[in-house]
Structure 1
Amino acid sequence: MYKRVLLKLSGEALAAGKGFGIDAVFIHKIAAEIAAVHAAGCEIAIVVGGGNFFRGVAQQAIDMDRVAADHMGMLSTVINAIALQDAIEKLGLFCRVMSAIEMHQVAEPYIRRRAMRHLEKRRIVIFAAGTGNPYFSTDTAASLRAMEIKADVLLKATSVDGIYSADPKLDPTATKYEEISYMDILKLNLRVMDQTAVSLLKDNNLPSIVFSMKVPGNIVRVVNGEKLGSLIIP
């Protein structure tokens, strides 16, 4: 269904419930799903979070300068990006990590035209280090990169199977939204992604889908057009 997608993976997802670090088995399963999407003819770019190592707004950063803490969080996304790149390349695919913070020894600098060229040449691209600026989350980075590469849709893979009126892990009466608009997310103050990312997507009319990555094969199903999770419409 989609020709080009941007997949947002959280750092916590790569930890696979362990809370910290990277689950080697799980990251190879994710790499296999990404390879299946690629084999189906879809161009795929990925933004990874870093919450499994460090987040600028986390409790352990409470006494730190926010800018310093956010820079640490950006560097943690680079660790995840390199790990995912290794897992993808072990499947025989070409993969490039592009970092918003220049570190030539481990990643290419992010240049939009070069990223577009990689995708056109059927390479998988992983965007690391967020936007390169403090105070912006990786959700915002994913929204920005999705629009820059002209993705058809932003896919946000999470630990829950869609958007709910409240946290379904804490509130069993929470109701799921099969379809919702960006304006309603802002009005209801739903925490599916930060408000900067929501506003950016709304203003540029880019749809997104929030779905669970716990079920094997879900990434392929979403790309093929199956109705999973929650669709967010402009």
Structure 2
Amino acid sequence: MADSITPPPHAEPLLSLRDVRKSYGPREALRGVSLDVARGEFVALLGPNGAGKSTLFQLLTGLFNADDGSLSVCGHDIRHNSVAALAGIGVVFQQSTLDLDLGVAANLKFHASLHGLGGRRARERIADALQRLGLSERAGDPVRELSGGNRRKVELARALVHEPAVLLMDEATVGLDPASRRQLLDEVLALRARGVGVLWATHLVDEAEAADRVIVLHQGRILAQGRPQNLAEAAGTATLAEAFLKMTGDTVA
């Protein structure tokens, strides 16, 4: 497992949210959320179902606008400079968005074109991404012929083709077997050595235990954040799982 990179003191975060709020009618999905992700930092956004994780990711990817507060990527405000902000983000959603009838490389090539990458530059980045994830020999295969774990790898490769500063992973291991889940997590953890900032949303405590920092989100509010062991100590528990249960009343995952 790759070591994380410690950001220099007072370095500007790659991803920054300040007092973000979002409601759907009378229901408050996010209630003043503030968080940062630094270069080379793996941050786990840990919360039970309905905590507001997916809403937060919808705001970060420009699908919806926040009712209040600010969101920025690499210093670019998403509301006022969305093109520059979104160019700095790679994302893997909970639900697959791959074209199952296209080949693996063709899916990546289409995504690269959306980011203005073509020709030799795109081919080199696609080849590099597939090689890094062990998919080079499957480049021409239709996505529908791949296992669930390999499909997730393709989505990760696609998210990284344009070399984003920030990677968003929204419950990306749902439906994977334990070995595939661990392998995907290890691949993303290794990105810290390249300076990529990662926000990994999950309801699974064992995934959050691998993070540099854990942010506990519950009912649209941040309850606590810190290193996994520090959160357990602050809650007066032996493990992060017990601390998570104590804070949220959710079932230990």
Higher strand fraction: Structure 1 or Structure 2? 2
Determine which structure has more spread, i.e. the larger CA radius of gyration.
2
Greater RCO structure (CA 8 Å; 6+ sep): 2
